[in-house]
Amino acid sequence: MSSSAPPSDAAPPAGEPSGRNHLRRFLTIWIVASVIATPLVAIFLGPILPPGKASDAAAGQVTDFTVTLSLATPVLLLVVLYLIYAIVNFRQPQGAALEGPALRGHVGLQTVWILISCVLIITLATYATFRLEQGYGAGSGSGPTPLTKPSGPKLPVQVIAQQWAFTYRYPTYGGVETTHLELPVNTMVEFHVTSLDVIHSFWAYQLGVKADANPNVDNIAFVKPTKIETFEVHCAELCGLWHGAMFDHGHVVSRPAFERWIAEQQRFFAPVTKQLPKYSRTYLPEPLRRGE
């Protein structure tokens, strides 16, 4: 250790590691730590990451978080281990707080730094683009004409946000509008998210869905719930005084339970359904409808 060595710009005394040896020693420590820590992060931390695995979109997000966290682990270790290494090895004796010689224009170091940064960013951008396309928008709203759509049958469910509640319309079940959200398990759902007044955001946390709810916009988000459970629904866009109270719970249920529930909703809301405007992908906000 150099803590007792006098500060000097000269070559290190005999027995002290040179700059090259420091580099080799530090790289060895970093590589060993990364090789041990990265799989541990992926194996033990990955499975408990939010938002859980209650849908295809949510499970995809857990995978993406695990991949990015695993990629970030060696970077974090590089920074933390270097700090510790520097404190231990390059600390100056008390009372001798002298600055070392200035370092300028190290072409090798700069090239390696820029190259590694570029490789990391390009890798992440490519991975993210691929995953977004593969996951039909990865649980986020893709606007009225999504670039990629799942094949096969889909259950359309319209999410209507307004200050300060969500209601849900099922166009394939007579356009009934309910105050609760129920979805059948293992069915591809096509959310059509819109708003009647200001901007909101439909966030079904455990399903991994977060889609902007904007007036006069049909924002489509796909999700396939894979677990029977209760999930939270929050508004995720500051939308006025009671934004914080704009939440409720949705339920993923079995297909027969869903059919029973929606039939019940159709019966219960029949008098209201008759009064509703015809099902539409978007609705004009009230002041616009009145021509103000």
And the tokens for 228? 């029977």
Instruction: Report the nearest approach of Cu ion to the CB of residue 235 (Å).
Output: 3
- Residue 57 in contact with residue 207, Cβ under 8 Å? yes
Instruction: Report the nearest approach of Cu ion to the CB of residue 167 (Å).
Output: 14
Phi, psi (rounded to 5 degrees) for 209 = -110, 130
Nearer to Cu ion by C-beta: 49 or 165?
A: 165
Instruction: Report the nearest approach of Cu ion to the CB of residue 240 (Å).
Output: 7
Site string for Cu ion, 140-179 (x = CB under 5 A): ----------------------------------------
Reduced to 3 states, what is the DSSP secondary structure of residue 291?
A: coil
- State which of residues 154, 243, 251, 281 lies at the interface with Cu ion (CB under 5 A): 243
Instruction: Report the nearest approach of Cu ion to the CB of residue 289 (Å).
Output: 21
Residue 248: its H or E element: strand 247-253
The total of other beta-carbon atoms located within 10 Å of residue 196's CB is: 19
- State which of residues 59, 239, 253, 262 lies at the interface with Cu ion (CB under 5 A): 239
Nearer to Cu ion by C-beta: 178 or 201?
A: 201
List, edge to edge, every strand of the sheet that includes 209-213: 181-184, 247-253, 230-235, 200-204, 209-213
- Residue 141 in contact with residue 222, Cβ under 8 Å? no
CA pair distance 237, 247, nearest whole angstrom: 12
And the tokens for 30? 């970093």
Q: Which span (46-54, 101-109, 140-148, 196-204) binds Cu ion, by CB under 5 A?
A: 196-204
Produce one character per residue of 198-218: b if its CB has 16 or more CB atoms within 10 Å, e if not.
bebbbbbbbbbbbbbbbbebb
Q: Which span (59-67, 149-157, 182-190, 240-248) binds Cu ion, by CB under 5 A?
A: 240-248
Residue 267: its H or E element: helix 255-268
Q: Is 200 in the site for Cu ion (CB under 5 A)?
A: yes
Q: Which span (44-52, 113-121, 199-207, 279-287) binds Cu ion, by CB under 5 A?
A: 199-207
- State which of residues 176, 235, 253, 262 lies at the interface with Cu ion (CB under 5 A): 235
- Residue 216 in contact with residue 187, Cβ under 8 Å? no
Q: Which span (12-20, 72-80, 244-252, 282-290) binds Cu ion, by CB under 5 A?
A: 244-252
Where in 104-241 does DSSP place strands (E)? 155-162, 165-170, 176-178, 181-184, 189-195, 200-204, 209-213, 219-223, 230-235
Q: Which span (61-69, 112-120, 175-183, 192-200) binds Cu ion, by CB under 5 A?
A: 192-200
State the number of binding residues for Cu ion (CB under 5 A).
Answer: 5
- State which of residues 246, 252, 253, 262 lies at the interface with Cu ion (CB under 5 A): 246
Nearer to Cu ion by C-beta: 47 or 244?
A: 244
What residues numbered 53-112 form the site for Cu ion, per CB under 5 A? none
Q: Which span (58-66, 70-78, 231-239, 277-285) binds Cu ion, by CB under 5 A?
A: 231-239
User: What residue ranges bind Cu ion (CB under 5 A)?
Assistant: 200, 235, 239, 243, 246
